[in-house]
Amino acid sequence: MSGQVPPRDGEGDRAKRGGGGPRFTRRPQTYTARKLRKEMTLPEGMLWKRLRGKQLGLKFRSQHPIGPYVVDFYCATARLVVEVDGMAHDNAERAERDRVRDGYLIEHGYEVLRLPAADVLKDVDCALAAIVARAESPLHRAGGTVPLPASGEALG
């Protein structure tokens, strides 16, 4: 054996592909997202099973970091954030934190759809239909622009 040392963090093939890097420079939200992906609640898992892999014609990400937050599901093409709210979201303190979080996301151009966990458990197909309808609707995009008429067309 030539006495080669295995690659350290940030070296080797992953570094060539853009991954790796020193641990201290990575975002803590990335670690939180990875942990949350492994610990999904039952309603989140039920939705993810049906959202993953473009099964609905849209690409979703699970436990995706956006700014200082990690959202349950995210569709980049629609800039749609889907949050599954369990009973913990019913208390006043958590509801206030959700309002602040939603404000941040909306301010940065994301649409937020909150689904009660109980509704997902009752009828996952109905929850999926609501997600797809919101993602495919051009009217939900608050930051979207209205197309202007072509040159020479009347505005009125």
pLDDT classification of 11: cutoffs 50, 70, 90: low
3-state SS record for the chain: CCCCCCCCCCCCHHHHCCCCCCHHHCCHHHHHHHHHHHCCCHHHHHHHHHHHHHCCCCCCEEEEEECCEEEEEEECCCCEEEEEECHHHHCHHHHHHHHHHHHHHHHCCCEEEEEEHHHHHHCHHHHHHHHHHHHHCHHHCCCCCCCCCCCCCCCC
The domain at 42-137 falls in which architecture? 3-Layer(aba) Sandwich (3.40)
**Stretch among 46-55, 87-96, 101-110, 135-144 having the lowest mean pLDDT:** 135-144
pLDDT confidence of residue 65: 86
**What are the residue boundaries of the structural domains of the chain, listed by start?**
42-137
pLDDT > 70? residue 155: no
pLDDT tens digit sequence for 75-93: 999 999 999 987 665 667 7
pLDDT confidence of residue 32: 61
